[in-house]
Amino acid sequence: MKNRSKMLALLAALLTVALVSSACGNDDDDTGATTAEQPTAVAANAPGATATPAATQAPAAPETPAAAATPPDAPEEATGEPIKVGNVSSLTGGALFPEASVAAKAVFDRVNAAGGINGRPVHLIIEDDAGTPEGAATAGRKLVEQDDVVAMVGSASTLECAVNSAFYADKGVYSIQGTGVDPLCFLSSNISPVNTGPYAGITVSLYYASETLGLEDVCNVNLFVIPDLAPAFDAAVERWEALTGKSLTLRVGAATLEDDPTPLMLQARDAGCDAVVIDGVEPHALAVGRAIESQGLSDIIWIGLTSYYTDSIASQLGSAGNGLRANSEFEPYGSDSPVLDDWRSLMTDTGVPLTSFAQGGYIAATIFLEALRGIDGEITRESVAEAMRTLAPYETPLLGTPYTFGPGETHAPNQASKFVELRDGEWVTVADDWVVLPG
């Protein structure tokens, strides 16, 4: 990544990013209360090897993350003084991330029903930033200054990190982000996302193509065109080059977010690309999948980001997108692996759609509970901050690398992905092993 000072210059551009999204959904919960209507779901073998369908995928070790399991027996619901926790998410506006917040709330509600933390319930206060910088600033200040939250947990927003990271650092508030999107989510002293994110996502996808699949001519097509975000995407490619000592055969970008990707895909074909890592949001994913079929491009490995990996895209493309791949930041949500049993059961019981973003909220809340349980004494903003900074590396089979926070100035602990492929309208896992970026 570029250094933090350069990334601070991206703030102005992030005011534009609210117009796009890497997830679809709908939710009106801005107080932490459960709503009657839940959001709608949206959001390595060598080439030619047989992929494993999600329904028959070889199961991983049958373990449940310790902190995610039902807490120790507590016969009564927690009724003590609430431990107030904040969440800023984009629930309305042009870019929606509804699942992470309601998934985090489900985790806390279950713990509260079983006695909470030493009899104290964890109360998640969810604020909608409406995908605007003004909304993110207002929400963050309300939670920190009026509600006096001890931490932020499970937030998922297009620009909340960029707007509030300096404010959180000034106020000593720490955030376990459920879905980190903008660059400052990964470049702040006080924010540590559980997801891989779009920038490490580019690097790990290139690494998968060149090192796991062993392909020689690897290319990159940039569709997520917001000019001042270019340094972050440039840095992702530069990191791959440094890790592998290789260079891209082709790197091209669209002029605007509305551009049809087909001409760029044809350039990649003409350049002899064996694999193309291609970013973008849902409309791009649909266009890419359809172009693979209509232009006869199935001999190239096309790899999208996690934004491609949704049931909505799979159902809309059907067999037209056969061969399209995407990186999964967590254990693929469509897998029947037993490591997903607790998450799947809790989400199903509480009406939360099974998506990658719901995984992020669940994992963030689970890790936060681990930090709370390690506090010996009063639970305050200061003691929570210390618990998060000193949290031992948290290992869970839902992540390819241990989660850490620590005292560093930047945080990007998730440096791994698994990869899925679209086949006849269903995503299948193409390898059971994590692709992990070298340190």
Tally of domains in the chain: 2
Residue 221, both tokens: 């097509």
Between 48 and 381, name the one with better pLDDT. 381
- Condensed to tens digits (0 to 9), the pLDDT of residues 152-190 reads 999 999 899 999 999 999 999 999 999 998 899 999 999
Q: What is the pLDDT of residues 33-63, one digit of tens each?
A: 333 333 333 333 232 333 333 333 333 333 4
Instruction: Note the pLDDT of residue 75.
Output: 53
> Are 282 and 24 spatial neighbours (Cβ–Cβ below 8 Å)?
yes
Could you tell me if 172 and 202 lie in one domain?
Answer: no
Q: Are residues 210 and 116 in the same domain?
A: no
Q: What are the tokens at 400?
A: 């390819």
pLDDT at 97: 83
* Same domain for 222 and 289: yes
pLDDT at 224: 83
Q: Cα 112 vs. chain centroid, distance in angstroms? A: 26
| pLDDT tens digits, 206-249 | 999 999 999 999 999 999 877 777 889 999 999 999 999 999 99
Task: Judge whether residue 2 has pLDDT over 50.
Answer: no
From start to end of 265-345, where are the E strands? 275-278, 301-304, 325-328
Question: Over 70: is that where the pLDDT of 14 sits?
Answer: no
pLDDT for 269-313, tens place per residue? 999 999 999 998 888 999 999 999 999 999 999 999 999 999 999
* Residues 94, 159 contacting (CB under 8 angstroms): no
Parent domain of 263: 197-330+418-436
Element (H, E) at 419: strand 416-423
86 DSSP β-pair partners: 125, 152
Task: Give one DSSP letter per residue of 210-278, joined into a string.
Answer: IIIS--S-EEEEE----GGGHHHHHHHHHHHHHHHS---SEEEE-SSTT--SHHHHHHHHHTT-SEEEE
Residue 315 pLDDT > 50, yes or no? yes
CATH of the domain at 42: 3.40.50.2300
Q: Note whether 191 and 93 are same-domain residues.
A: yes
Q: Are residues 431 and 282 in the same domain?
A: yes
Lowest mean pLDDT among 79-88, 113-122, 220-229, 310-319: 220-229
pLDDT at 22 over 70: no
Say yes or no to pLDDT of 257 above 70: yes
> Between β-strands 426-429 and 416-423, what pairing exists: parallel, antiparallel or unpaired?
antiparallel
Weakest-pLDDT range from 42-56, 187-201, 247-261, 328-342 = 42-56
Do 84 and 74 lie in one domain? The reply is: yes
User: What region, left, alpha or beta, does residue 154 occupy, with left being phi > 0 and alpha being psi -120 to 50 degrees?
Assistant: left
**In this structure, are 204 and 241 located in the same domain?**
yes
Q: What's the rounded mean pLDDT across residues 86-91?
A: 96
Q: Which helix (H) or strand (E) holds 423?
A: strand 416-423
68-72, 106-110, 150-154, 184-188: lowest mean pLDDT where? 68-72
C-alpha radius of gyration, the chain, whole number? 21
Q: What is the pLDDT of residue 45?
A: 28
Query: What pLDDT band is residue 199 in, cutting at 50, 70 and 90?
Result: very high
Residues 121 and 258 in one domain: no
Average of per-residue pLDDT values in the chain:
85
pTM of the model: 0.82
Determine the pLDDT at residue 66: 42
148: amino acid identity, one letter: D
Look-up of token digits 């939670």 = 143
Are residues 95 and 22 part of one domain?
Answer: yes
Q: Are residues 176 and 320 in the same domain?
A: no
Going by their DSSP bridges, the two strands 325-328 and 175-176 should be labelled as unpaired
Question: In this structure, are 348 and 322 located in the same domain?
Answer: no
User: Which of 194-198, 282-286, 360-364 has the least mean pLDDT?
Assistant: 282-286
Average pLDDT estimate for 195-209:
97
Give me the half-sphere count of Cα atoms (radius 13 Å) on the Cβ side of residue 353.
22
| Dist. CA 279–CA 22, nearest whole Å | 10
Same domain, 422 and 281: yes
The residue among 361 and 68 whose pLDDT is bigger is 361
Please state at what angle helix 356-373 crosses helix 99-113, rounded to 10 degrees. 40
pLDDT exceeds 80 at position 19: no
- The phi and psi torsions of 131 (rounded to 5 degrees) equal 70, 25
